[in-house]
Amino acid sequence: MEPPTKSLIYSVAITLWLIFFGIEIGALVKESAALQRTRDQLEEVSQALNANAKTIAGDAANIRAQAKQLEFLSSLVNLIPQEKNFVRTQRAIASEVEVLRRKVGRRLRDEQHIVVDTRANKLYLKKGLALVWAADCSVGKGGILTDKKTGRRWEFITPRGRFEVRNKIEKPLWIKPDWAFVETGDPVPPPEDPKRKAEGELGGYVLNLGDGYLIHGTKTEDLLGRPASHGCVRLGADNLKQLYDTVPAGTPVYIY
């Protein structure tokens, strides 16, 4: 009985090994097929990327060519003589500007005044027509705020025209108006509520122009030179102190 038993065991072992080997071969075949599909997908992606790269390179070449054309056309302005009527018009305008300057100079005499350019966000201190110094400022950022509950509206622009420094205040306390609460979505408190008091918001000094418009400081000096205020004129701390120390109450302020 012993020899047949060993043969049977050997046959079973061989059979099991063949089955296991077959399973492994099947798994390897499936992995190989998956790898082939992944390789095909990568080749498709690579071809698409190459096509996009060629398109981008073509667009870049077109942009460079157009830039060269624009540069050439711009250079023609300096090469082609200006039309005579244009030159005559320019001379007439320059003459008119000079006449206006003399008229303004006679009206201002040597009067010290402040000029605010709302387009350039620049503040100038001048004496007559002479510039004393200039500084970046921030004027009204524009836009309209509407209170959905009451329908009230506020427009955040800096008014144009002639004003004057009505009075000056050191270490001013800002009494927050209704729009400040509406803008942040907070309930509007009663007029005498302590929540309206905000110290340090206006900087160290204020020049009052009337009707709620001020020249004051700011906590965000990095925004100077851009429209960022709710209508007032903002200055940096150093320039604000210099202006406060220099101009008295009654100084004219021209905003345009």
Domain boundaries, the chain: 1-80, 111-255
Q: Which of 80-89, 179-188, 193-202 has the lowest mean pLDDT?
A: 80-89
Q: What is the pLDDT confidence band of residue 104, given thresholds at 50, 70 and 90? A: low
- Which of the four pLDDT bands, split at 50, 70 and 90, describes residue 122? very high
**pLDDT the model gives residue 200:** 93
Q: How far, in Å, CA of 189 to CA of 98, rounded?
A: 54
135 in Cβ contact with 239 (< 8 Å): yes
Local confidence band at 84 (pLDDT 50, 70, 90 cut-offs): low
Asked if 233 contacts 137 with a C-beta cutoff of 8 angstroms, the reply is yes
pLDDT tens digit string along 128-169? 989 999 999 999 999 999 999 999 999 999 999 999 999 999
**Alpha carbons 239 and 245: distance in angstroms, whole number:** 10
Longest dimension (CA), the chain: 137
Q: Which of 147, 154, 135, 134 is nearest to 229 (CA)?
A: 154
* Dihedral Cα 209, 212, 218, 222, nearest 10 deg: -90
Question: What is the distance between the alpha carbons of residues 174 and 145, in angstroms, rounded to a whole number?
Answer: 20
User: Does an H or E element contain 238, and which?
Assistant: helix 237-246
Q: What torsion, rounded to 10 degrees, do the Cα atoms 139, 178, 183, 194 define?
A: 110
Query: Which architecture does CATH list for 111-255?
Result: Beta Barrel (2.40)
User: What are the two backbone dihedrals, phi and then psi, of residue 199, each rounded to the nearest 5 degrees?
Assistant: -85, 145
Place of tokens 């990568």: 42
pLDDT bin (cut points 50, 70, 90) of residue 54 is confident
Asked if 252 contacts 114 with a C-beta cutoff of 8 angstroms, the reply is: yes
> Residues 159, 255: contact at Cβ < 8 Å?
yes
